[in-house]
Structure 1
């Protein structure tokens, strides 16, 4: 006998298997195959795939440089830096467990999940901002990945002809086109191919890093331990003292993952169970961060012994070593690591965001091709124009705008709706739909979103908050959630009294 269906919620009453994922009569302006709930039988990701989402996010050129810089820039004892990095991983793990759970349960991407709190049309504004932010960084990271290919081509065949066009040499342009085509090809193969790439890339980068750490250790000899002692000693000269320095380490690492946290549902919807997602987050965040940071520390300390200065960019270390095989292996590793994070953090969000804008005409595949084209132009102009006009501050500001959206989504789902969704109404444009609000826009949520975003953006640009800049995202998320909860509850009480 089949279990009765709760018509208001679209869920089997008393079922332990989870909600019914069938959508009846969806509006074509809100639905396509990419935005539809993903049936459980089509989900192939487990703990290992989620683990590799995070390892690829960590293992980019920027991620390595960031981890190395934390050990030498804040004047803290190295063990305190380790503690701060692991604590940041625990915080991000907790945030992702919260926002990822409904996407696992209902099989929906971030853009659809946001409809519950922002309205079926109101979700377009924040998802578009997320897509713009990701597209800018996609172009930039594509350029950075191409420098690894250029390093490889130069090592094998020489520097090529002289002269540049828009700041790039002939080898630079060839490398850039290779990386751009590779990324689009991976995406158009679908999430299964992306998952396979991440599963292979994450462990491969770790193997190379362990090998590089071993080589550096061998070359540095016993002096490595004295260098580690120096790093672990700390000089305590960070403005504001030890607590401010520790908070800066934690906040910086949290901010590094903030963009992926917002749209984490785009990945968790492919996971077979919540248990697998939580395990993947545990192993991929605090555990993987600890291992990666330790390897980074050994390599950085060894570079200070071998070259007289602590090098925080792995490309600089490779340039100092005159070994063609090391150059080839390192270049391929840098390419894999950077392409991995680009797919995770910067390609998938705008692809789904564009699909959400016009589902009847734009699929996630088409959205990805648009992202690739716009990102190609951005990356191609990076050296000549964009890098010099302060685009990083602009993109950071867009990221700060998004922080309250996380808080609103979580507060709405867990505090106001008690963890339940009306799946059919997420795809309905009917005025009677639960998430239609005012012509498809939840004006109360948008008001909370705008107020909290003003705070987040102001904090990014306010010099007095520089020491706490890493926590701006968390503060913005907390404020957005609190405002949304308070405004909605107050409006509900007034409606009851009326």
Structure 2
């Protein structure tokens, strides 16, 4: 099977060779196979990632009580449902991946700017998430085979010998899965999602019973009054920021959705319902551990490693590894693949771009990035702050100015008179809105003087980007609404 079984090919007639490839072609409606369950599995896997658990449990450590955490996630899930549904509709309408979608607002060449930002962030987190999964696997292997501890005591380039073995093994597994394309990723998610939900729910129940059927509803010094409400709002905002990457490239998946209804139903169960389940698991895990010994955990792995039964320990650890791989494939692997294919359509296809992304994710030695607060806080957070303005410009362009009208064939055209050629392939108005909005967003995110507002940097950037672009963009765009079927032909 090929890497493009979930898409159709497109006739290259009239398209630019530098803008078109089989993997970038719009998905033919007859070949769209993603139903509501497939959309739901995106969130069933991605929401329950190790990084998300660490973030959510951190809210408990910061002093939010159980009800504050639940309210923060309720607010965040409502916002995300709206943002991701709007973004998902764009993918279903056009059938194109994010780098091509960006051409609508930024131009056929200018689209490389937002795509590159999204791709760099994703590759860095691909390596980091693989490292986190390998750490869980390391702990499991040492528990089963204590003799492997000696491999933990020897290291090279900042990683232990056992760490190298597990990291490379998980790295290779992900490369193998991606090499078979989106259809295999979809099937992997369908299996991983129920495994994740069952395992994490069982872990929460086990902890609840272990704590005598009760949990602490707050830490010793819970927040109250204005400080509590500020933390709730910041927690909700930061949760949306975590998905600032996904709201951009959600179209990479919904381009294969069967209908808008599939997107809405999948998002409804996968975001509000699933996120509240996630929040419930978080408060049980954090509250039960605090009830037991007054300790605030930082991750589910802290609990998993204390499971006395080896079979239960192995089951939980394997589930966390399966989960982390699913999250990586969804959030951090697919996006840079399409970015690279978009940059080099003549030489890279889905499979080759996946290998290139994986190699970059390896050579950057991600464990060193993760262990460096400077890198995580400034480099990755700085790049993340750029994603809000990108989203704002794209949304304002598509929904406010164009009213959802898209000439899909012209997204692949190098004709100077095509709708998205603008000036030499760049829409200077989109760039003009992106630059100042990004500058302000990055300053708010990174400058200590704005620490109290840093959690809202994504929203600030998105709103500024949208407002500036709506003000300077063409309020009466003369664009035709031409479906992707106009250039699509049956799949091979």
Which whole-Å CA distance do the structure 2 matches of 1:301 and 1:386 have between them?
A: 27
Provide the residue aligned with 1:18 in structure 2: none
Aligned to 2:154: 163
Q: Distance in 2 between matches of 1:485 and 1:408?
A: 8
**Alpha carbons of structure 1 residues 259 and 159: separation in structure 2 relative to 1, 3 Å:** farther
Partner of 1:200: 191
> Is the CA contact (8 Å cut-off) linking 1:209 and 1:295 kept in structure 2?
yes
Deviations 1:51-86 (A, max 9, x none): 11112111111111212222341x344223212211
Write out per-residue CA displacement over residues 328-382 of structure 1, whole angstroms, 9 at most, x where no aligned residue. 112112211211111111111110001111212222222111100010122xx24
1:9 is aligned to: none
Judge conservation of contact 1:68–1:293 (CA < 8 Å) in 2: no
Query: Residue 190 of structure 1 corresponds to which residue in structure 2?
Result: 181
Look at both structures and tell me which one has the larger radius of gyration over its CA atoms.
1
* Residue deviations 1:310-331 (CA, integer Å, cap 9, x gap): 3231111223333322221121
Instruction: Confirm whether residue 70 of structure 1 aligns to residue 70 of structure 2.
Output: no
Which of 256, 273, 286 aligns to 1:287? It is: 273
Stretches of 4+ aligned residues off by more than 3 angstroms: 21-24, 382-386, 489-492
Q: Could you list the per-position Cα deviations for residues 397-441 of structure 1 after superposition, in whole angstroms to 9, with x for gaps in the alignment? A: 111112211111111111111111011111100111111011111
Aligned counterpart, 2:470? 485
> Which 5+ residue runs of structure 1 have no aligned equivalent?
1-20, 493-498
Structure 2 residue aligned with 1:414: 399
Deviation per residue, 1:278-323 (Å, 9 max, x gap): 1111111111010111012112212123333132311112233333
The residue number in structure 2 matching 1:39 is 28
Q: 1:79-98 residue pairs with structure 2 within 5 A? A: 79-98=67-86
- TM-superposed CA distance for 1:218, in Å, is 1.9
CA gap 1:313/1:189 in 2 versus in 1, 3 angstroms:
same
Alignment partner, residue 116 of structure 1: 104
Aligned ranges for residues 231-270 of structure 1 at < 5 Å? 235-236=222-223, 241-270=227-256
CA 1:384–1:358: 2 relative to 1, 3 Å: closer
Q: How does 1:52-451 map to 2 (within 5 A)?
A: 52-73=41-62, 75-160=63-148, 161=150, 162-222=153-213, 224-225=214-215, 227-228=216-217, 230=218, 235-236=222-223, 241-378=227-364, 381-384=365-368, 387-388=371-372, 390-392=374-376, 393-451=378-436
- Given that residues 128 and 367 in structure 2 are in contact (C-alpha distance below 8 angstroms), is that contact kept between their aligned partners in structure 1? no
Distance in 2 (CA, whole Å) between partners of 1:38 and 1:357 is 19
Q: After superposition, give the CA deviation of every residue in 1:383-410 in whole Å (9 maximum; x if it has no partner).
A: 4576336211201111111221111111
- Contact residue 128 and residue 370 of structure 2 kept, 8 A: no
Q: Partners in 2 of 1:45 and 1:390 — Cα distance?
A: 40
Instruction: Say which SS state the counterpart of residue 473 (structure 2) adopts.
Output: helix
SS at match of 1:431: coil
Q: Judge conservation of contact 1:159–1:171 (CA < 8 Å) in 2.
A: no
CA contact (8 A) 1:253 1:470 kept: no
Superposition deviation, residue 156 in structure 1: 1.8
The answer to whether the 8 A contact 1:251-1:468 is kept is no
TM-superposed CA distance for 1:256, in Å, is 1.4
* Residues 30 and 360 in structure 1, CA contact (< 8 A), matched pair in contact too: no
Query: What TM-score comes out, normalization by structure 2 length?
Result: 0.90
For residues 159 and 252 of structure 1, the distance between their equivalents in structure 2, rounded to whole angstroms, comes to: 42
TM-score (norm 1): 0.89
CA distance in 2, matches of 1:214, 1:488: 54
Cα offset, 1:467, TM superposition: 2.6
CA RMSD of aligned residues (A): 2.1
Instruction: List alignment gaps of at least 5 residues for structure 2.
Output: 1-9, 478-492
Aligned residues: 465
